[in-house]
Structure 1
Amino acid sequence: MPDNKHITHPADAKRIDIHDLHEVRNWCQGFGCTEEELNNAVAAVGTWADDVREYLKK
Structure 2
Amino acid sequence: MSDDKNNSQSRDRQRINIHQDYELRDWSKSLNTTPERLKEAVAAVGDRADKVREYLGQDKPSR
Q: TM-score range by the shorter chain?
A: 0.7 to 0.9
Aligned: 1:46 with 2:46: yes
Give the 4+ runs in structure 1 shifted more than 3 A: 7-11
* CA distance in 2 between partners of 1:10 and 1:41 (Å): 24
Q: Counting helix residues as a fraction of each chain, which structure ranks higher?
A: 1
Counterpart residue number, 1:18 = 18
Listed one character per residue, the Cα deviations across residues 6-38 of structure 1 (whole Å, up to 9, x for unaligned) are x49876100001100001111000000000000
Q: Gaps spanning 5+ residues in structure 2: where?
A: 59-63
Task: Name the Cα RMSD after superposition.
Answer: 2.2
Query: Number of matched residues?
Result: 54
Q: Gaps spanning 5+ residues in structure 1: where?
A: none
Normalised by the size of structure 1, how large is the TM-score?
A: 0.81
Calculate percent identity across the aligned residue pairs.
44
Normalised by the size of structure 2, how large is the TM-score?
A: 0.75
